[in-house]
Structure 1
């Protein structure tokens, strides 16, 4: 995927793809102009392999977040799949209901390819992390977790960011091992500027 921002029209279409995917699962008809999937599936930028996360919120509260860390399918298919999974299959939440649909706010993150960090200790790792810029993946013999760059809004220091990510991965906050692997990535953010899904 390109490292630059998407155009306004591209962002709008990406949001509408997420909206439409959720609406279809809820068996709702969107009042937005129907998406011509035969046409958009031929767009080169939607056919490029991409890894995305779809984050859903209602009134500022998280309502679902699911994504992929490696680019293994087209941007179009990744958005469709992650939209449905975030809305209906995030194990932390009940499935999104019809009554919640119009209140959903969408945030799409298109990820760059993860880059492994070669570090000898936690202090060195913390020195690599750039608040507000880097997402981080932790892997440790069966444990794996990530925080998107947007999480820096809640956890503003590298230490708090790393400690909470360890907990998410099922590890103690002071855990360290020579077997741990760390990867950073960045994200191109696409927002639902209207703050609502229009039914």
Structure 2
């Protein structure tokens, strides 16, 4: 089951290996992967390859060489110099990275309901980010997490008694300049809660915090990589 994730317009659980949060694609592992970072630029290059082949009705790219371990993951497409969000979808279910990135590179580009599908004309203006999610923990309450360190996933019941969920990746709150309360309230609205938000409502939330490694690549970096591979 897919989930949209990022930004003010911007949401599944498995795997709990500890890792500190990533910033601008840089992170240091604690109890982690034998090669340090799990998220690598090659994963972003692969997402670009997948999207290019899909846009031009070509056979899918060959199997990549990066590791194929299973993790929850998100793929985020942005466009233009201002890096406007263009699509962001992923899964909290651990997926093998090679098939998971192949799937969500396409899903986030074409099936994010907030946006029209990405077109060929937009391809050269894109940037892509891969987020590998790790270190899932049940929070003791709705404030048991840190802005800029944790992504959060909330579960709550709306006015009609229906269970709803919503999530933001770790970078969303600092990018928006939100504190914890503002982030929680935005997530409630994102999840479809329409009534006034009280402290009792906030306290009723079940919150899961997590951390991520994030790596990003622009179209120009992708082309430099592609040209290097040809040489």
Q: Which range, TM-score by smaller chain?
A: 0.7 to 0.9
Say yes or no: does 1:51 pair with 2:72: yes
- Cα pair 2:152 2:207 within 8 Å, conserved: yes
User: Matches of 2:117 and 2:221 in 1, distance apart?
Assistant: 18
User: Matches of 2:136 and 2:202 in 1, distance apart?
Assistant: 21
- Cα pair 2:50 2:61 within 8 Å, conserved: no
Distance 1:21 1:83, change over 3 A: same
Find the partner of 2:84 among 58, 61, 83: 61
Aligned to 2:137: 115
- Cα pair 2:45 2:217 within 8 Å, conserved: no
Q: What is the TM-score with the length of structure 1 in the denominator? A: 0.80
CA offsets per residue over residues 121-167 of structure 1, 9 Å max, x none? xxxx22x2211111110112431110001102114311111110110
In structure 2, runs of 5+ residues without a counterpart are 1-16, 20-28, 30-35, 157-161, 227-231
- Cα pair 1:163 1:174 within 8 Å, conserved: yes
Report deviation, 1:183.
Answer: 0.4
User: Matches of 1:160 and 1:196 in 2, distance apart?
Assistant: 35
| Number of corresponding residues | 182
Q: What is the TM-score with the length of structure 2 in the denominator? A: 0.70
Find the partner of 2:216 among 191, 194, 198: 191
Aligned to 1:133: 149
Say yes or no: does 1:13 pair with 2:34: no
User: Matches of 1:55 and 1:93 in 2, distance apart?
Assistant: 13
User: Matches of 2:202 and 2:79 in 1, distance apart?
Assistant: 38
User: Matches of 1:177 and 1:129 in 2, distance apart?
Assistant: 14
In structure 1, runs of 5+ residues without a counterpart are 120-124
Structure ranking higher on relative contact order (CA contacts 8 Å, 6+ apart):
2
Larger helix proportion of the pair = 1
